[in-house]
Structure 1
Amino acid sequence: MSDRNSQANKQAARERLRVERERQKKKEKVRRQLVVGASVLGVLVVAGGIGFGIMKANEPTGWEAAKEADLVKPANTSGKDGTEIVIGKPEAKETLEVFEDIRCPACAGFEQSAGPALLKGMEDGRYKIRFTMYTFIDGGQGGEGSKNALSALGAALDVGPEAFLKYKTALYAEKNHPEEADDAYAKDKKLIEVADQVPELKDNKKFRAAVENGTYDRWTMEMTALFGRKGVTGTPAFLHGDKKLKLPPVPQKQMTKEQYQELATANFNKMIDDEFGPAKDAKK
Protein backbone atom coordinates (compact mmCIF):
# COMPACT_ATOMS: atom_id res chain seq x y z
CA MET A 1 0.00 0.00 0.00
CA SER A 2 1.41 3.40 -0.93
CA ASP A 3 1.95 6.04 1.69
CA ARG A 4 -0.67 8.12 -0.09
CA ASN A 5 -3.34 5.42 0.22
CA SER A 6 -2.38 4.74 3.79
CA GLN A 7 -2.80 8.40 4.66
CA ALA A 8 -6.17 8.60 2.97
CA ASN A 9 -7.38 5.55 4.84
CA LYS A 10 -6.31 7.03 8.13
CA GLN A 11 -8.14 10.28 7.37
CA ALA A 12 -11.28 8.36 6.44
CA ALA A 13 -11.09 6.35 9.69
CA ARG A 14 -10.66 9.49 11.75
CA GLU A 15 -13.63 11.10 9.99
CA ARG A 16 -15.82 8.06 10.69
CA LEU A 17 -14.73 8.17 14.33
CA ARG A 18 -15.53 11.89 14.55
CA VAL A 19 -18.94 11.40 13.01
CA GLU A 20 -19.67 8.52 15.41
CA ARG A 21 -18.56 10.60 18.40
CA GLU A 22 -20.80 13.49 17.27
CA ARG A 23 -23.70 11.09 16.89
CA GLN A 24 -23.10 9.68 20.39
CA LYS A 25 -22.85 13.20 21.84
CA LYS A 26 -26.18 14.18 20.30
CA LYS A 27 -27.77 10.97 21.53
CA GLU A 28 -26.45 11.57 25.07
CA LYS A 29 -27.65 15.19 24.97
CA VAL A 30 -31.15 14.10 23.99
CA ARG A 31 -31.12 11.47 26.75
CA ARG A 32 -30.06 14.05 29.35
CA GLN A 33 -32.76 16.45 28.17
CA LEU A 34 -35.37 13.73 28.50
CA VAL A 35 -34.17 12.83 32.02
CA VAL A 36 -34.11 16.47 33.11
CA GLY A 37 -37.51 17.06 31.52
CA ALA A 38 -38.99 14.09 33.30
CA SER A 39 -37.43 15.21 36.57
CA VAL A 40 -38.81 18.71 36.19
CA LEU A 41 -42.19 17.29 35.27
CA GLY A 42 -42.05 15.08 38.34
CA VAL A 43 -41.21 18.07 40.52
CA LEU A 44 -44.01 20.06 38.93
CA VAL A 45 -46.45 17.21 39.47
CA VAL A 46 -45.40 16.88 43.10
CA ALA A 47 -45.46 20.64 43.58
CA GLY A 48 -48.80 20.81 41.86
CA GLY A 49 -50.07 18.05 44.10
CA ILE A 50 -48.80 19.86 47.18
CA GLY A 51 -50.27 23.12 45.94
CA PHE A 52 -53.61 21.47 45.25
CA GLY A 53 -53.49 19.85 48.68
CA ILE A 54 -52.75 23.19 50.32
CA MET A 55 -55.49 24.85 48.31
CA LYS A 56 -57.97 22.17 49.34
CA ALA A 57 -56.83 22.41 52.96
CA ASN A 58 -57.37 26.16 52.90
CA GLU A 59 -60.83 25.95 51.37
CA PRO A 60 -63.51 27.02 53.87
CA THR A 61 -65.66 24.28 55.33
CA GLY A 62 -68.85 24.12 57.39
CA TRP A 63 -70.29 27.46 58.38
CA GLU A 64 -67.35 29.37 56.87
CA ALA A 65 -68.19 27.79 53.53
CA ALA A 66 -71.82 28.81 54.03
CA LYS A 67 -70.74 32.44 53.70
CA GLU A 68 -69.79 31.72 50.09
CA ALA A 69 -72.89 29.70 49.21
CA ASP A 70 -75.72 31.07 47.11
CA LEU A 71 -78.16 33.08 49.21
CA VAL A 72 -81.61 31.52 49.43
CA LYS A 73 -84.01 33.75 51.32
CA PRO A 74 -86.96 32.13 53.07
CA ALA A 75 -90.41 33.18 51.98
CA ASN A 76 -92.10 35.67 54.34
CA THR A 77 -88.93 37.72 54.83
CA SER A 78 -88.03 41.15 53.58
CA GLY A 79 -84.98 43.39 53.33
CA LYS A 80 -81.94 43.13 51.07
CA ASP A 81 -80.78 39.74 52.36
CA GLY A 82 -84.10 38.53 53.74
CA THR A 83 -83.02 39.33 57.30
CA GLU A 84 -86.19 41.20 58.24
CA ILE A 85 -88.69 38.82 59.85
CA VAL A 86 -91.83 40.86 60.53
CA ILE A 87 -94.99 39.02 61.57
CA GLY A 88 -98.36 40.49 62.53
CA LYS A 89 -101.52 42.13 61.28
CA PRO A 90 -100.95 44.59 58.40
CA GLU A 91 -103.05 47.23 60.17
CA ALA A 92 -100.88 47.19 63.31
CA LYS A 93 -99.17 50.58 63.42
CA GLU A 94 -96.41 49.75 65.90
CA THR A 95 -93.56 47.26 65.71
CA LEU A 96 -92.03 45.54 68.70
CA GLU A 97 -88.54 44.25 68.00
CA VAL A 98 -87.55 41.03 69.74
CA PHE A 99 -83.93 39.81 69.90
CA GLU A 100 -83.31 36.15 70.76
CA ASP A 101 -80.77 33.33 70.45
CA ILE A 102 -82.18 29.80 70.28
CA ARG A 103 -79.56 28.41 72.70
CA CYS A 104 -80.12 31.26 75.19
CA PRO A 105 -81.48 29.92 78.52
CA ALA A 106 -82.90 33.35 79.45
CA CYS A 107 -84.77 33.42 76.13
CA ALA A 108 -86.12 29.94 76.86
CA GLY A 109 -87.25 31.10 80.31
CA PHE A 110 -89.01 34.11 78.77
CA GLU A 111 -90.68 32.06 76.03
CA GLN A 112 -91.85 29.39 78.49
CA SER A 113 -93.50 32.02 80.69
CA ALA A 114 -94.37 35.22 78.83
CA GLY A 115 -94.15 33.86 75.28
CA PRO A 116 -97.93 33.44 74.95
CA ALA A 117 -98.44 37.07 76.11
CA LEU A 118 -95.96 38.26 73.46
CA LEU A 119 -97.92 36.49 70.73
CA LYS A 120 -101.28 37.61 72.11
CA GLY A 121 -100.28 41.25 71.77
CA MET A 122 -99.39 40.57 68.15
CA GLU A 123 -102.63 38.66 67.51
CA ASP A 124 -104.62 41.50 69.10
CA GLY A 125 -103.03 43.93 66.66
CA ARG A 126 -101.23 45.99 69.30
CA TYR A 127 -97.98 45.55 67.38
CA LYS A 128 -96.22 43.60 64.70
CA ILE A 129 -93.12 41.70 65.83
CA ARG A 130 -89.77 41.92 64.11
CA PHE A 131 -87.59 39.01 65.17
CA THR A 132 -83.80 39.38 65.07
CA MET A 133 -82.23 36.01 65.76
CA TYR A 134 -78.66 35.94 67.06
CA THR A 135 -76.20 33.03 67.19
CA PHE A 136 -73.56 34.43 69.54
CA ILE A 137 -73.85 31.57 72.05
CA ASP A 138 -72.16 29.28 69.50
CA GLY A 139 -69.11 31.47 69.85
CA GLY A 140 -69.31 31.77 73.61
CA GLN A 141 -70.06 28.14 74.44
CA GLY A 142 -68.65 26.56 71.30
CA GLY A 143 -70.73 24.55 68.88
CA GLU A 144 -73.18 25.15 66.05
CA GLY A 145 -76.60 24.72 67.66
CA SER A 146 -77.71 28.35 67.41
CA LYS A 147 -76.83 28.56 63.72
CA ASN A 148 -78.21 25.15 62.84
CA ALA A 149 -81.49 25.85 64.64
CA LEU A 150 -81.75 29.25 62.96
CA SER A 151 -81.27 27.61 59.55
CA ALA A 152 -84.10 25.23 60.44
CA LEU A 153 -86.23 28.19 61.53
CA GLY A 154 -85.59 29.66 58.09
CA ALA A 155 -86.98 26.46 56.59
CA ALA A 156 -90.04 26.76 58.86
CA LEU A 157 -90.51 30.41 57.90
CA ASP A 158 -90.48 29.37 54.26
CA VAL A 159 -93.45 27.12 55.08
CA GLY A 160 -95.26 30.03 56.73
CA PRO A 161 -95.24 32.54 59.63
CA GLU A 162 -97.42 30.26 61.76
CA ALA A 163 -95.01 27.37 61.27
CA PHE A 164 -92.11 29.66 62.24
CA LEU A 165 -93.80 30.86 65.44
CA LYS A 166 -94.91 27.38 66.51
CA TYR A 167 -91.50 25.88 65.76
CA LYS A 168 -89.69 28.59 67.68
CA THR A 169 -92.01 28.01 70.64
CA ALA A 170 -91.31 24.26 70.42
CA LEU A 171 -87.54 24.78 70.27
CA TYR A 172 -87.76 26.85 73.46
CA ALA A 173 -90.17 24.48 75.21
CA GLU A 174 -89.01 23.03 78.52
CA LYS A 175 -89.23 19.45 77.24
CA ASN A 176 -87.03 20.24 74.23
CA HIS A 177 -84.65 23.06 75.08
CA PRO A 178 -81.16 21.80 76.00
CA GLU A 179 -78.87 23.29 78.62
CA GLU A 180 -76.82 26.20 77.29
CA ALA A 181 -73.63 24.12 77.15
CA ASP A 182 -75.41 21.22 75.42
CA ASP A 183 -75.09 21.65 71.65
CA ALA A 184 -78.01 19.30 70.92
CA TYR A 185 -79.47 21.55 68.20
CA ALA A 186 -76.31 21.11 66.14
CA LYS A 187 -77.82 17.78 65.07
CA ASP A 188 -80.40 17.85 62.28
CA LYS A 189 -82.05 14.77 63.75
CA LYS A 190 -82.89 16.66 66.96
CA LEU A 191 -84.27 19.63 65.04
CA ILE A 192 -86.49 17.37 62.96
CA GLU A 193 -87.72 15.54 66.08
CA VAL A 194 -88.85 18.88 67.53
CA ALA A 195 -90.38 19.89 64.19
CA ASP A 196 -92.56 16.79 64.29
CA GLN A 197 -94.41 18.47 67.18
CA VAL A 198 -95.55 21.23 64.79
CA PRO A 199 -98.49 20.20 62.53
CA GLU A 200 -97.29 22.30 59.59
CA LEU A 201 -93.84 20.70 59.71
CA LYS A 202 -94.59 17.10 60.67
CA ASP A 203 -93.68 14.80 57.76
CA ASN A 204 -93.08 17.89 55.61
CA LYS A 205 -90.55 16.59 53.06
CA LYS A 206 -89.63 20.04 51.73
CA PHE A 207 -88.90 21.33 55.23
CA ARG A 208 -86.87 18.25 56.11
CA ALA A 209 -84.81 18.47 52.91
CA ALA A 210 -84.09 22.16 53.59
CA VAL A 211 -82.83 21.32 57.08
CA GLU A 212 -80.68 18.40 55.98
CA ASN A 213 -79.30 20.18 52.90
CA GLY A 214 -78.59 23.43 54.73
CA THR A 215 -80.68 25.40 52.25
CA TYR A 216 -80.83 28.42 54.54
CA ASP A 217 -77.29 28.22 55.94
CA ARG A 218 -76.11 31.26 53.94
CA TRP A 219 -79.20 33.17 55.11
CA THR A 220 -78.30 32.17 58.67
CA MET A 221 -74.86 33.73 58.22
CA GLU A 222 -76.52 36.95 57.03
CA MET A 223 -78.68 36.91 60.16
CA THR A 224 -75.61 36.18 62.29
CA ALA A 225 -73.92 39.27 60.88
CA LEU A 226 -76.66 41.40 62.50
CA PHE A 227 -75.13 40.86 65.96
CA GLY A 228 -74.92 44.22 67.71
CA ARG A 229 -77.77 45.70 65.66
CA LYS A 230 -79.09 48.81 67.42
CA GLY A 231 -76.54 48.20 70.14
CA VAL A 232 -78.16 44.96 71.32
CA THR A 233 -75.58 42.40 72.45
CA GLY A 234 -77.65 40.35 74.92
CA THR A 235 -80.87 38.38 74.71
CA PRO A 236 -83.76 38.48 75.17
CA ALA A 237 -84.11 42.17 74.35
CA PHE A 238 -87.07 44.30 73.29
CA LEU A 239 -87.05 47.54 71.32
CA HIS A 240 -89.70 49.98 70.15
CA GLY A 241 -88.08 52.06 67.49
CA ASP A 242 -84.67 52.91 68.92
CA LYS A 243 -85.93 52.70 72.50
CA LYS A 244 -84.82 49.70 74.48
CA LEU A 245 -87.64 48.49 76.71
CA LYS A 246 -86.87 47.29 80.20
CA LEU A 247 -88.47 44.04 81.26
CA PRO A 248 -88.92 44.06 85.05
CA PRO A 249 -87.12 41.09 86.64
CA VAL A 250 -88.96 38.41 88.55
CA PRO A 251 -88.07 38.68 92.28
CA GLN A 252 -85.50 36.12 93.39
CA LYS A 253 -87.47 34.15 95.92
CA GLN A 254 -88.74 30.63 96.33
CA MET A 255 -91.85 30.00 94.24
CA THR A 256 -93.52 27.37 92.12
CA LYS A 257 -93.11 27.24 88.37
CA GLU A 258 -96.68 28.45 87.96
CA GLN A 259 -96.03 31.43 90.24
CA TYR A 260 -92.89 32.31 88.30
CA GLN A 261 -94.72 32.16 84.98
CA GLU A 262 -97.54 34.31 86.34
CA LEU A 263 -95.13 36.98 87.58
CA ALA A 264 -93.07 36.91 84.38
CA THR A 265 -96.20 37.35 82.27
CA ALA A 266 -97.42 40.21 84.48
CA ASN A 267 -94.04 41.93 84.14
CA PHE A 268 -94.09 41.61 80.37
CA ASN A 269 -97.64 42.96 80.14
CA LYS A 270 -96.66 45.90 82.33
CA MET A 271 -93.72 46.69 80.05
CA ILE A 272 -95.99 46.60 77.01
CA ASP A 273 -98.74 48.65 78.67
CA ASP A 274 -96.22 51.29 79.77
CA GLU A 275 -94.92 51.60 76.21
CA PHE A 276 -98.04 51.13 74.06
CA GLY A 277 -100.78 52.07 76.48
CA PRO A 278 -103.31 49.76 78.12
CA ALA A 279 -104.80 47.04 75.97
CA LYS A 280 -108.27 47.83 74.70
CA ASP A 281 -110.87 46.01 72.67
CA ALA A 282 -108.53 43.04 72.29
CA LYS A 283 -109.83 41.19 69.22
CA LYS A 284 -112.04 42.50 66.50
Structure 2
Amino acid sequence: MSKRNSQAAKTAARERLRQERERQAKRDKAKRQVVVACSIVGVLAVAGGIGYFVVQNSKPTGWDKAAEAKVVLPANSSGKDGTTVLIGDSKSDKVVHLYEDPRCPACASMEQGLGETINKGMKDGDYKLSFTLGTFLDNNLSGEGSKNALSALGAALDVSTDAFIDYKGALFSAEHHPDESTDKFADDSYLIKVADTVDALKGNKKFQDSVKNGTFDPWAMRMSDSFQKAKDVESTPTIKIDDKVIKNPGSVEEWNKTLKDAGIGK
Protein backbone atom coordinates (compact mmCIF):
# COMPACT_ATOMS: atom_id res chain seq x y z
CA MET A 1 0.00 0.00 0.00
CA SER A 2 1.53 3.26 -1.04
CA LYS A 3 1.92 6.04 1.43
CA ARG A 4 -0.28 8.32 -0.66
CA ASN A 5 -3.11 5.80 -0.80
CA SER A 6 -2.94 5.37 2.99
CA GLN A 7 -3.23 9.12 3.54
CA ALA A 8 -6.20 9.33 1.18
CA ALA A 9 -7.90 6.53 3.09
CA LYS A 10 -7.40 8.33 6.39
CA THR A 11 -8.77 11.53 4.90
CA ALA A 12 -11.82 9.70 3.57
CA ALA A 13 -12.35 8.04 6.94
CA ARG A 14 -12.22 11.38 8.77
CA GLU A 15 -14.75 12.82 6.32
CA ARG A 16 -17.15 9.91 6.85
CA LEU A 17 -16.80 10.33 10.63
CA ARG A 18 -17.52 14.05 10.36
CA GLN A 19 -20.62 13.42 8.27
CA GLU A 20 -21.84 10.75 10.71
CA ARG A 21 -21.38 13.16 13.64
CA GLU A 22 -23.40 15.80 11.81
CA ARG A 23 -26.21 13.33 11.11
CA GLN A 24 -26.23 12.22 14.78
CA ALA A 25 -26.33 15.83 15.95
CA LYS A 26 -29.34 16.45 13.69
CA ARG A 27 -31.09 13.33 15.07
CA ASP A 28 -30.42 14.42 18.66
CA LYS A 29 -31.76 17.91 17.94
CA ALA A 30 -34.90 16.45 16.37
CA LYS A 31 -35.48 14.24 19.44
CA ARG A 32 -35.10 17.20 21.78
CA GLN A 33 -37.62 19.17 19.75
CA VAL A 34 -40.13 16.31 19.95
CA VAL A 35 -39.66 15.97 23.74
CA VAL A 36 -40.11 19.71 24.27
CA ALA A 37 -43.19 19.75 22.05
CA CYS A 38 -44.74 16.82 23.91
CA SER A 39 -43.97 18.45 27.23
CA ILE A 40 -45.66 21.65 26.15
CA VAL A 41 -48.70 19.72 24.94
CA GLY A 42 -48.81 17.84 28.25
CA VAL A 43 -48.64 21.02 30.29
CA LEU A 44 -51.31 22.63 28.17
CA ALA A 45 -53.50 19.55 28.50
CA VAL A 46 -53.15 19.54 32.29
CA ALA A 47 -53.74 23.28 32.46
CA GLY A 48 -56.70 22.90 30.16
CA GLY A 49 -58.07 20.06 32.28
CA ILE A 50 -57.69 22.08 35.45
CA GLY A 51 -59.27 25.06 33.75
CA TYR A 52 -62.18 22.94 32.56
CA PHE A 53 -62.62 21.49 36.05
CA VAL A 54 -62.63 24.94 37.64
CA VAL A 55 -65.09 26.28 35.07
CA GLN A 56 -67.39 23.29 35.45
CA ASN A 57 -67.36 23.53 39.22
CA SER A 58 -67.96 27.25 39.17
CA LYS A 59 -71.05 26.84 37.05
CA PRO A 60 -74.28 27.28 39.02
CA THR A 61 -75.96 23.99 39.95
CA GLY A 62 -79.63 23.25 39.61
CA TRP A 63 -80.04 24.09 43.28
CA ASP A 64 -78.20 27.41 42.82
CA LYS A 65 -80.66 28.26 40.08
CA ALA A 66 -83.56 27.13 42.25
CA ALA A 67 -82.43 29.52 44.96
CA GLU A 68 -82.98 32.40 42.52
CA ALA A 69 -86.10 31.04 40.82
CA LYS A 70 -89.68 32.08 41.44
CA VAL A 71 -91.20 30.20 44.37
CA VAL A 72 -94.26 28.02 43.97
CA LEU A 73 -95.89 28.03 47.39
CA PRO A 74 -97.17 24.69 48.66
CA ALA A 75 -100.77 24.74 49.74
CA ASN A 76 -101.05 24.82 53.54
CA SER A 77 -97.96 27.01 53.91
CA SER A 78 -97.92 30.67 54.86
CA GLY A 79 -95.58 33.58 55.50
CA LYS A 80 -92.86 34.94 53.23
CA ASP A 81 -92.08 32.43 50.48
CA GLY A 82 -94.35 29.94 52.24
CA THR A 83 -91.65 29.08 54.79
CA THR A 84 -94.08 29.09 57.71
CA VAL A 85 -95.51 25.62 58.22
CA LEU A 86 -97.94 25.78 61.14
CA ILE A 87 -100.22 22.79 61.66
CA GLY A 88 -103.07 22.18 64.08
CA ASP A 89 -106.41 23.64 65.15
CA SER A 90 -105.53 24.28 68.77
CA LYS A 91 -107.35 27.19 70.41
CA SER A 92 -104.30 27.56 72.62
CA ASP A 93 -101.59 30.01 71.64
CA LYS A 94 -98.95 27.41 72.53
CA VAL A 95 -96.60 26.42 69.70
CA VAL A 96 -94.11 23.56 69.56
CA HIS A 97 -91.52 24.37 66.89
CA LEU A 98 -89.32 21.62 65.44
CA TYR A 99 -86.08 22.31 63.55
CA GLU A 100 -84.85 19.29 61.59
CA ASP A 101 -82.73 18.21 58.62
CA PRO A 102 -84.04 15.28 56.53
CA ARG A 103 -80.65 13.47 56.60
CA CYS A 104 -80.18 13.97 60.36
CA PRO A 105 -79.92 10.64 62.25
CA ALA A 106 -80.76 12.27 65.59
CA CYS A 107 -83.94 13.69 64.03
CA ALA A 108 -84.82 10.21 62.82
CA SER A 109 -84.21 8.82 66.30
CA MET A 110 -86.44 11.45 67.88
CA GLU A 111 -89.16 10.89 65.31
CA GLN A 112 -89.07 7.14 65.90
CA GLY A 113 -89.26 7.56 69.68
CA LEU A 114 -91.50 10.60 70.13
CA GLY A 115 -93.04 11.40 66.74
CA GLU A 116 -96.45 9.85 67.41
CA THR A 117 -96.64 11.40 70.88
CA ILE A 118 -95.73 14.88 69.61
CA ASN A 119 -98.23 14.59 66.75
CA LYS A 120 -100.95 13.40 69.12
CA GLY A 121 -100.57 16.49 71.30
CA MET A 122 -101.12 18.62 68.21
CA LYS A 123 -104.14 16.58 67.11
CA ASP A 124 -105.59 16.71 70.63
CA GLY A 125 -105.41 20.50 70.49
CA ASP A 126 -102.80 20.96 73.22
CA TYR A 127 -100.62 23.06 70.89
CA LYS A 128 -99.86 23.79 67.26
CA LEU A 129 -96.84 22.31 65.51
CA SER A 130 -94.45 24.46 63.53
CA PHE A 131 -91.68 23.16 61.28
CA THR A 132 -88.50 24.69 59.89
CA LEU A 133 -86.37 22.29 57.89
CA GLY A 134 -82.73 22.76 56.95
CA THR A 135 -80.27 21.22 54.52
CA PHE A 136 -76.90 21.88 56.15
CA LEU A 137 -75.95 18.19 56.10
CA ASP A 138 -75.73 18.35 52.30
CA ASN A 139 -72.89 20.82 52.75
CA ASN A 140 -71.26 18.94 55.62
CA LEU A 141 -71.42 15.51 53.99
CA SER A 142 -71.75 16.52 50.32
CA GLY A 143 -74.77 15.58 48.28
CA GLU A 144 -78.28 16.89 47.81
CA GLY A 145 -80.50 14.45 49.70
CA SER A 146 -81.65 16.95 52.31
CA LYS A 147 -82.66 19.50 49.68
CA ASN A 148 -84.38 16.89 47.54
CA ALA A 149 -86.29 15.41 50.48
CA LEU A 150 -87.29 18.90 51.61
CA SER A 151 -88.66 19.63 48.14
CA ALA A 152 -90.63 16.37 48.29
CA LEU A 153 -92.00 17.39 51.70
CA GLY A 154 -93.18 20.59 50.04
CA ALA A 155 -95.02 18.43 47.50
CA ALA A 156 -96.59 16.46 50.37
CA LEU A 157 -97.62 19.68 52.14
CA ASP A 158 -99.25 20.77 48.91
CA VAL A 159 -101.46 17.68 49.16
CA SER A 160 -102.45 18.14 52.81
CA THR A 161 -101.03 18.77 56.27
CA ASP A 162 -101.73 15.13 57.18
CA ALA A 163 -99.74 14.00 54.13
CA PHE A 164 -96.86 16.23 55.24
CA ILE A 165 -96.86 14.87 58.81
CA ASP A 166 -97.16 11.24 57.72
CA TYR A 167 -94.55 11.55 54.96
CA LYS A 168 -92.07 13.20 57.29
CA GLY A 169 -92.59 10.33 59.69
CA ALA A 170 -92.04 7.81 56.90
CA LEU A 171 -88.80 9.49 55.77
CA PHE A 172 -87.49 9.44 59.35
CA SER A 173 -88.65 5.88 60.04
CA ALA A 174 -86.22 3.09 60.89
CA GLU A 175 -87.28 1.31 57.71
CA HIS A 176 -86.63 4.16 55.29
CA HIS A 177 -84.15 6.60 56.80
CA PRO A 178 -80.67 6.01 55.35
CA ASP A 179 -77.35 6.46 57.09
CA GLU A 180 -76.48 10.16 57.00
CA SER A 181 -73.42 9.46 54.83
CA THR A 182 -75.60 7.75 52.22
CA ASP A 183 -77.23 10.30 49.95
CA LYS A 184 -80.24 8.11 49.23
CA PHE A 185 -82.78 10.93 49.40
CA ALA A 186 -81.15 12.44 46.30
CA ASP A 187 -82.95 9.75 44.30
CA ASP A 188 -86.47 10.85 43.27
CA SER A 189 -87.57 7.26 42.76
CA TYR A 190 -86.65 6.43 46.36
CA LEU A 191 -88.61 9.41 47.69
CA ILE A 192 -91.62 8.28 45.66
CA LYS A 193 -91.18 4.72 46.93
CA VAL A 194 -91.32 5.95 50.52
CA ALA A 195 -94.34 8.13 49.67
CA ASP A 196 -96.20 5.04 48.48
CA THR A 197 -96.31 3.91 52.14
CA VAL A 198 -98.42 7.00 52.95
CA ASP A 199 -102.13 6.67 52.16
CA ALA A 200 -102.57 10.25 50.92
CA LEU A 201 -99.55 9.99 48.61
CA LYS A 202 -99.71 6.41 47.34
CA GLY A 203 -99.98 6.53 43.55
CA ASN A 204 -100.59 10.29 43.74
CA LYS A 205 -99.55 11.49 40.27
CA LYS A 206 -99.62 15.18 41.17
CA PHE A 207 -97.24 14.55 44.06
CA GLN A 208 -94.99 12.34 41.93
CA ASP A 209 -94.83 14.91 39.13
CA SER A 210 -93.93 17.63 41.63
CA VAL A 211 -91.05 15.51 42.93
CA LYS A 212 -89.76 14.58 39.47
CA ASN A 213 -90.10 18.12 38.09
CA GLY A 214 -88.64 19.82 41.15
CA THR A 215 -91.73 22.01 41.47
CA PHE A 216 -90.91 22.93 45.05
CA ASP A 217 -87.12 23.12 44.71
CA PRO A 218 -87.16 26.94 45.01
CA TRP A 219 -89.40 26.66 48.08
CA ALA A 220 -86.97 24.15 49.62
CA MET A 221 -84.10 26.59 49.14
CA ARG A 222 -86.07 29.41 50.80
CA MET A 223 -86.99 27.10 53.68
CA SER A 224 -83.34 26.11 54.05
CA ASP A 225 -82.38 29.79 54.14
CA SER A 226 -85.00 30.37 56.83
CA PHE A 227 -83.44 27.58 58.86
CA GLN A 228 -80.00 29.17 58.52
CA LYS A 229 -81.36 32.46 59.85
CA ALA A 230 -83.17 30.91 62.83
CA LYS A 231 -81.97 32.19 66.19
CA ASP A 232 -80.60 29.83 68.85
CA VAL A 233 -80.59 26.84 66.48
CA GLU A 234 -77.14 25.29 66.41
CA SER A 235 -77.95 21.63 65.71
CA THR A 236 -80.77 19.28 64.81
CA PRO A 237 -83.12 18.38 66.19
CA THR A 238 -83.87 21.59 68.06
CA ILE A 239 -87.20 22.01 69.81
CA LYS A 240 -88.66 25.32 70.86
CA ILE A 241 -91.79 25.88 72.91
CA ASP A 242 -93.12 29.40 72.57
CA ASP A 243 -89.84 30.38 70.86
CA LYS A 244 -87.71 29.11 73.75
CA VAL A 245 -85.23 26.27 73.16
CA ILE A 246 -85.83 23.28 75.42
CA LYS A 247 -83.66 20.30 76.24
CA ASN A 248 -84.40 17.47 73.84
CA PRO A 249 -86.44 14.86 75.74
CA GLY A 250 -85.15 11.31 75.73
CA SER A 251 -88.45 9.61 76.46
CA VAL A 252 -92.21 10.09 76.39
CA GLU A 253 -92.12 10.70 80.16
CA GLU A 254 -89.57 13.49 79.74
CA TRP A 255 -91.64 15.01 76.95
CA ASN A 256 -94.80 15.00 79.06
CA LYS A 257 -92.91 16.63 81.94
CA THR A 258 -91.54 19.27 79.55
CA LEU A 259 -95.06 20.07 78.37
CA LYS A 260 -96.32 20.27 81.95
CA ASP A 261 -93.49 22.63 82.92
CA ALA A 262 -94.47 24.80 79.93
CA GLY A 263 -98.09 24.88 81.05
CA ILE A 264 -99.33 22.69 78.23
CA GLY A 265 -101.90 19.96 78.54
CA LYS A 266 -104.30 18.90 81.23
Give 1:239 shift: 1.0
Counterpart of 1:232? 233
Structure 2: 5+ residue stretches without partners: 1-53
Equivalences for 1:213-228 in 2 at 5 Å?
Answer: 213-226=213-226, 227-228=228-229
Distance change (3 Å), C-alpha of 1:96 and 1:60: same
Q: CA RMSD in A?
A: 1.8
Aligned: 1:128 with 2:128: yes
Measure the CA separation in 2 of the matches of 1:180 and 1:128. 29
Measure the CA separation in 2 of the matches of 1:276 and 1:121. 13
Counterpart of 1:270? 257
Number of matched residues? 212
Aligned: 1:241 with 2:242: yes
Larger radius of gyration: 1
Measure the CA separation in 2 of the matches of 1:80 and 1:147. 19
Counterpart of 2:84? 84
Structure 1: 5+ residue stretches without partners: 1-53, 251-263
Counterpart of 1:189? 189
Equivalences for 1:1-284 in 2 at 5 Å?
Answer: 60-226=60-226, 227-248=228-249, 250=250, 264-277=251-264, 279-280=265-266
Deviation track 1:233-271 (CA, whole Å, cap 9, x = no partner) reads: 2111111233111124x4xxxxxxxxxxxxx22222221
% of aligned pairs identical?
A: 49
Deviation track 1:107-151 (CA, whole Å, cap 9, x = no partner) reads: 000000111110011011111011011111111111101000000
TM-score normalised to the size of structure 2?
A: 0.76
Give 1:57 shift: 8.7
TM-score normalised to the size of structure 1?
A: 0.71
Deviation track 1:32-65 (CA, whole Å, cap 9, x = no partner) reads: xxxxxxxxxxxxxxxxxxxxxx999965222111
Counterpart of 2:14? none
Measure the CA separation in 2 of the matches of 1:154 and 1:130. 14
